Structure 1
Amino acid sequence: MDSTYCHACRHFSSPSSAGSVFDSPCGFRNWKKATERGGGFSVHAKSERHKDSMIAWRDYQRAVKANTTLANILDKEHSKKVKENREYIRTIGEVILLTARQNIAQRGHNESEESNNKGNFREILEMVANHDPAVKRRLTSIHNAKYTSKIVQNEVLGCLAEMVRSEIIEEVKRSQYFSIMADETKDVSKQEQISFILRYYYDGAIKESFLHFESAERLDAVGLTEKIVIVNLLGRHGLDYKNNLIGQAYDGAAVMSGKHSGVQAKIKETAPFAFYIHCSAHCLNLVLVDSIKAVPEAEECFALLQSLYVFTSGS
């Protein structure tokens, strides 16, 4: 493009001042009058718009040298805020991790400011705030972004669980071969939940790691095998169960241990090295149940406990 522009006017002129050809999209291109005394560059250099733009440009250059431009100030404040927010979220996560490790409840019955006991999570967080001004400012702020709600707690717990699960899966992949143990139980809503444990050799020791709870929509062998154990769990986590699954342990129920149509048989159809072992803990439980029946006092005690459980769960 055969044109010239004024850098100062294009970038530092006031929006309220009248425009000039030197900062227009087309620029100045009348070269015959460019060096005339009464036109072109000379007239533009003497204009008020150009003078004001040059002053603004020089002020900007001085500010850049002093590192005090508005952009830099805002950028520093933004970086400081981001760092402070990350440290606060880190503190939230550490408190939640502490309560999870100690296996103590997080929420309190009354978490209002007037309460003497706001629950373990809030009380520990307030104790930390006494020694951390940044946490103190956030907790006493009038804004809503305190991240102390049950929703945030559950999300953080979910993130922590996923981190642990990823580490377990990584260990299993490094060890290559593994076994699975599974058992079902009902939760408080009477929904069947399948618990899964992976057993593998890692770092010179046998490890058993809980992996997941999975809701059981179907309790038959096909549902437990194809919908949960293989597809939704082992396959979802990228474990090569067809070649590396070398063992499986369940209770002695026919749906799990059936030689021809049980879960263990269906898994062996695709994972031929996955030998089935009747869970020793279930065997011990059966022994204890039969032993208790031989002691009337013990049988009456457990019958009473069962009745109390049925009564309280239905109340």
Structure 2
Amino acid sequence: MDSTYCHACRHFSPPSSAGSVFDSPCGFRNWKKATERGGGFSVHAKSERHKDSMIAWRDYQRAVKANTTLANVLDKDHSKKVKENREYIRTIGEVILLTARQNIAQRGHNESEESNNKGNFREILEMVANHDPAVKRRLTSIHNAKYTSKIVQNEVLGCLAEMVRSEIIEEVKRSQYFSIMADETKDVSKQEQISFILRYYYDGAIKESFLHFESAERLDAVGLTEKIVIVNLLGRHGLDYKNNLIGQAYDGAAVMSGKHSGVQAKIKETAPFAFYIHCSAHCLNLVLVDSIKAVPEAEECFALLQSLYVFTSGS
């Protein structure tokens, strides 16, 4: 294109000023008058629009050199806020992790500002704020992003639990061979929950690691095997149970220990090396129960406790 343009006017001219041919789409082409005293270049260089554009261009160059452009300032401010948010979220996570490790409740009965006891989580966080100005500013600010609600606490706990599970699964995969232990119990809502534990050898020691609870929709052997033990757990975590599962331990209930149609038998159909062992803790419990029956006073005491449990749970 046989045209010339003014860089300053095209990029730095005031938006309210009228345009000129030097920053138009076609540019300046009248070469006969380009260098005349009253021609294009001379007139344009003396115009107020060009002077203002040159001042704006020089200001921009100085700002770039000093690293103080609007984009840089906004970028620095954004980076600072991101860093502060990450540090604050890290503090939130560490407080929640502390309460989880100490096995103490997080929430209080009254978490209002007037309460003398807002719960372990809020009280510990406020104690940290007394020594960390950044945390204190966030807790006392008017905006809503304080991340102290029960929903956030549960989400953080879920993330921490997933990190622990991932580490357990990684250890099991490195050790290659493992055993499973499972038992069922009812929660407060009378829903059967299956507790699932992996036993494996890692880093010179035998480990027994709790994986998680799983709701049991069916308590028959097929439901417990296919929905809980094999498909929904071992398969979901990517463990090669068919070749690497070498043991399984449950209580002595027929649905679990049945030789032909119990859970252990169905697992052995796909994992032939998974030998079944009656849980030693359950064996000890059976021995203690039979021993207590030989002592009338003890038997009456436990019978009374059982009756009280049935009465209170049904009320």
Residue 8 and residue 221 in structure 1: after superposition, are their counterparts in 2 closer, same or farther (change >3 A)? same
CA separation of 1:267 and 1:21: change in aligned 2, threshold 3 A: farther
Spell out, residue by residue over 1:41-96, the C-alpha distance to the aligned partner (whole angstroms, 9 max, x if none). 33332222221111011111112222222222222221111111111111111111
In 1, Cα distance between equivalents of 2:50 and 2:164: 64
Give me the whole-angstrom Cα distance separating, in 1, the residues matched to 2:244 and 2:29.
76
Residues 234-262 of structure 1: per-residue CA shift (max 9 Å, x gap)? 11111111111111111111111111111
Paired-residue identity, %: 99
Which is further off, 141-150 or 73-82? 73-82
Following superposition, the deviation at residue 293 of structure 1 comes to: 1.5
- Secondary structure of the residue aligned to 1:243 is helix
Query: Cα distance 1:67–1:291, how it changes in 2: closer, same or farther (>3 A)?
Result: same
> Structure 1 residues 227, 20: closer, same or farther in 2, change over 3 A?
farther
TM-score, length of structure 1 as denominator length: 0.94
2:212 corresponds in structure 1 to: 212
- Return closer, same or farther for 1:259/1:114 CA change in 2, 3 Å cut-off: same
Provide the rounded CA distance (Å) in 1 between the counterparts of 2:150 and 2:131. Answer: 24
Normalised by the size of structure 2, how large is the TM-score? 0.94
Gaps of at least 5 residues in structure 1 are none
Q: How many aligned residue pairs are there? A: 315
Which stretch shows the higher mean deviation, 36-45 or 249-258?
Answer: 36-45
The 1:24/1:178 distance shift into structure 2, 3 A limit, reads farther
- The C-alpha deviation readout for 1:251-284, integer Å capped at 9, x for no partner, is 1111111111111111111111111111111111
The alpha-carbon deviation at position 179 of structure 1 amounts to 0.5
Give the drift of 1:294: 1.5
By how many angstroms is 1:3 displaced? 4.1
Distance, in Å, in 2 between the alignment partners of 1:246 and 1:51 is: 85
Change (3 A) 1:217 1:52: same
1:91-170 alignment runs, 5 A limit: 91-170=91-170
SS in structure 2 at match of 1:29: coil
Distance 1:14 1:263, change over 3 A: same
Residues 1:49 and 1:219: Cα distance change in structure 2 (over 3 Å): same
Structure 1 window deviating more from structure 2 (281-290 vs 204-213): it is 281-290
- How far residue 24 of structure 1 moved from its aligned partner, in angstroms, is 3.3
The CA deviation at 1:102 is 0.5
Structure 2 match to 1:272: 272
Of the structure 1 ranges 192-201 and 78-87, higher mean CA displacement relative to structure 2 is found in: 78-87
User: Matches of 2:83 and 2:228 in 1, distance apart?
Assistant: 42
Call closer, same or farther: CA 1:36–1:106 in 2, change over 3 Å: same
Partner SS, residue 195 of structure 2: strand
Query: Structure 2: how far apart are the matches of 1:306 and 1:313?
Result: 11
Give SS of 1:311's match: helix
**Distance in structure 2 (CA, Å) of the matches to 1:63 and 1:159:** 44
Ranges in structure 2 where 5+ consecutive residues have no aligned partner:
none
RMSD of aligned alpha carbons: 1.7
More deviation in 49-58 or 124-133?
Answer: 49-58
